[in-house]
Amino acid sequence: KNEVEQSPQNLTAQEGEFITINCSYSVGISALHWLQQHPGGGIVSLFMLSSGKKKHGRLIATINIQEKHSSLHITASHPRDSAVYICAVSKTSYDKVIFGPGTSLSVIP
Amino acid sequence: GAVVSQHPSWVICKSGTSVKIECRSLDFQATTMFWYRQFPKQSLMLMATSNEGSKATYEQGVEKDKFLINHASLTLSTLTVTSAHPEDSSFYICSACCDTGQPQHFGDGTRLSIL
């Protein structure tokens, strides 16, 4: 069993839809990361959180430490949001990161 | 914001060639840098952790004599794939860290293709 799992694996949405990507993990952590990987491969760090909720623009990330679960929400989705979204965990913010398998999102105009 | 520059972004070379990949932190001191590898349709996997001024720590199954890591300064770490073979073809990405409480910053990655 993978230490970090994500669902769904693939997601296709119409522009404007509200999107949710889920992440569950089985190890003790102090930091959870949400990352965005574009087709060219480059990775952008979207959020790092250890509790509660963070919001940045149309993106919202939540985490429930007791349930070992996190969600990434995208409001008013846009084709430029199309990318692979990766959940990753680390014991501390400066520890090695364990990556989930990623969720491939395609937003259709 | 903080930026990590990784170079080159794309390499195609013949089998047996050694390839060096650089990872630079541009506006912060990176005491720790991580090197990851991603095979097609697979998750990113940690290869090694490098701390400035000391030897890198390699993950199980990663050959330290094949993947040479140097972290001689607080802003630069290099990964050299020695005598590369087609099975080394992969996407390599570094991340640099960091101040406590701040996220790791990732480079743009290097796509390595060995013919």
DSSP structure class, residue B101: T
Residues of A in contact with B95 (CB under 8 A): 97
**Who among A33, A35, A96 is closest to B49 (CB)?**
A96
pLDDT at residue B1 in the model: 55
Residues of B in contact with A27 (CB under 8 A): none
**Contact between residue A60 and residue A53 where contact means Cβ atoms under 8 Å apart:** yes
- The span from the CA of B73 to the CA of B38, in Å, is 26
Q: Which two tokens stand for residue A65?
A: 């430490």
The CA-to-CA distance between both ends of chain A, in Å, stands at 36
Spell out, as residue ranges, where chain A has pLDDT lower than 50: none
pLDDT tens digits along B1-23: 558 899 999 999 999 999 999 99
pLDDT exceeds 60 at position B38: yes
Distance from CA of B101 to the nearest CA of A (A): 6
A33 part of contact set with chain B, CB < 8 Å: yes
pLDDT band at B100; cut points 50, 70, 90: low
pLDDT tens digits along B39-95: 887 888 999 999 888 889 999 999 999 999 998 888 999 999 999 999 999 999 999
- The span from the CA of B40 to the CA of B38, in Å, is 6
pLDDT at residue A29 in the model: 83
- The span from the CA of A64 to the CA of B84, in Å, is 43
Name the nearest CA neighbour of B14 among B63, B83, B79.
Answer: B83
Name the nearest CA neighbour of B9 among B90, B85, B77, B109.
Answer: B109
Q: How many CB pairs under 8 A join A and B?
A: 62
